[in-house]
Amino acid sequence: MAQYPDRFIPKRSAMDIDYSCYLLNQKGPKPIIVESTDSEVVNSAKRSQNQNNYISVLTFSRSDLLPLRLKKAIFGNNRQKWVLQFSSRPLRKRDSPESFRCLSDVWPVKPRSKPLLKNPSIILDLPDIQDHLDCSSPLDWAATGYIATVYENEVHFWHPEGRRMEATYTSMRVGKCLKWNRQGNLLAFALEYPHCKYATWSIQLQKVKTVFFCSYAFCEITAIEWTKSNEIITGCSQGCLRTGKISTGHMMYPHVQLDGTISCVKLSSNENFCAVVVKNNFLIRLLRYPQWTAHYDINCQEIGKKISISWHPWREGLLAVGQAQGVSIWNVNNLTVVGHIVCYSIDAIAFNPVSAELLISAHNNLPDNTTRVYLTVMKNCEKAVDEVVHCNGREPFLYWDTTGTKLAVVGSHESLCIWDFFGTSSNGINKKTKRSRLTSDPFETMKLIGPTIR
């Protein structure tokens, strides 16, 4: 029990782990015939079929449990638990706005020939992650494989191969954003001391290597970016954009002073441009790097919506901007919009570093107060090549591993879901895994899930 203390964190949401495991692992359910075209009636019938199949698995060898009573106990009206479930949908062509028609080859891409996203291959617990959903980056995936995340004001680590690394010890002073360097051996994270703004953590030393100081006491680091030369670019709540060198441990004077909180800083593929998102004013400041000269300001259309940006992995100067009801593709070199994608409210966007397909996380609020989430893979502005739909909660953070074949998604469902972005064959291993036997014993869920990130 001491090995997995997060199982019983009081603030952890009530997820039905057993039923979620069943839904994610079931294969080829028989189609159900419903004499109705109403989507709610069809969904209700499918839900009832899944519940009946699940109960039959639980009571297969138990003559002392009545299926009807057990179903009422698990899925009764007073049950508050929710399940983690994903589904695919038929792909369709996306229409561009009538006032804007773009070419299909707006950005260079190496698209997949068929849908490959299915269910996540790994699901990790992230309790209390909802406290960080408005942050720039409460989690990051290193080139060395370590996933770092902020929990109770300390940084915790997880590795897919089971390598263990102790959490940081800063007397619970870690802020709400962090970032690995390009090599994956140094982690920069914000601090909540008056003059100690952020620190770097070394994997080799497994301790804090450098602490960066600043004369400004009433601000906090809200965005972090690493350069190829291992310099650190930071943005703060007072709109100051600075750089810091590991050798000195001091932050330079502000290169740029903006009016508002900086929520995101990203360098282009060849580091000729730097895009800075200002949260309060809802604009994107484009800068020439390393001169730090102003290049252009992109004013976002709808105030109050989240802004997400992503640079193309190898085409210099091609920037995707997600806001409100769509994604705009900007050619920063000549300051023109070369493409537009219409979709629901944007939560996050990210170019895949290998194929350059554009992944979009969007949500749509339905009349019944539920939220439907779409993870869509676009090969151009009109063609979606893959899509996953679910109602588990919004997902505002997308991360890639160093190979670009693994996708990590973080959302309000308090889980970190990892997908094989190019299918299971991208792992190079095709092993038949034995399906875990479902049980009604709540303590057996620890054996089904295994280790978690925290």
Residue 370's pLDDT is 85
- Residue 411: its pLDDT value, please? 86
- Which is it for the CA torsion 200, 140, 1, 204, positive or negative? negative
Tell me which of 80-84, 279-283, 314-318 is least confident.
80-84
Average pLDDT score over residue span 397-407: 93
Amino acid at 225: E
The amino acid at residue 251 is M
Contact between 414 and 127 under an 8 Å Cβ cutoff? The reply is: yes
User: For the chain, how far is it from start to end, CA to CA, in angstroms?
Assistant: 14
Q: Is-contact 364 374, C-beta < 8 A? A: yes
- CA-closest candidate to residue 309, choices 275, 344, 278: 275
User: 178 with 187: CB under 8 angstroms?
Assistant: yes
pLDDT of 51 > 90? The answer is no
**What is the rounded distance in angstroms from the CA atom of residue 335 to the CA atom of residue 291?**
19
pTM score of the predicted model: 0.77
The HSE-up count of residue 23 (CA atoms within 13 Å, CB side) is 20
347/396 Cα distance (integer angstroms):
5
Mean of all residue pLDDT scores within the chain? 78
Q: Where are the domains of the chain?
A: 17-80, 89-125+300-454, 134-298
* CA dist., res. 232 & res. 241, Å (int): 11
Higher confidence at residue 142 or residue 46? 142
Question: Tell me, what's the pLDDT at 127?
Answer: 79
For 92, other C-beta atoms within 10 Å of its C-beta total 9
Cβ neighbours of 75 (radius 10 Å): 18
CATH architecture of 134-298: 7 Propeller (2.130)
Mean pLDDT to the nearest integer, 166-174:
90
For the ranges 291-295, 335-339, 397-401, 446-450, the lowest mean pLDDT is seen at 446-450
Q: Is the pLDDT of residue 269 over 50?
A: yes
Alpha-carbon distance of 170 to 390, in angstroms, equals 38
Question: What pLDDT is recorded for position 104?
Answer: 56
- Give the pLDDT score at 285: 95
Determine the average pLDDT of the residues in 221-245: 91
Choose between 433 and 47: higher pLDDT. 47
How far is Cα 423 from Cα 386, in angstroms, rounded to an integer? 11
> For residue 147, which of 130, 131, 160 has the smallest C-alpha distance?
160
Confidence (pLDDT) at 273: 97
* The two three-digit tokens of residue 334, written as one number: 């000549």
The arithmetic mean of pLDDT across residues 229-252, rounded, is 84
pLDDT tens-place string over residues 207-226: 998 888 776 777 889 999 99
Q: Tens digits of per-residue pLDDT, 153-164?
A: 999 999 988 888
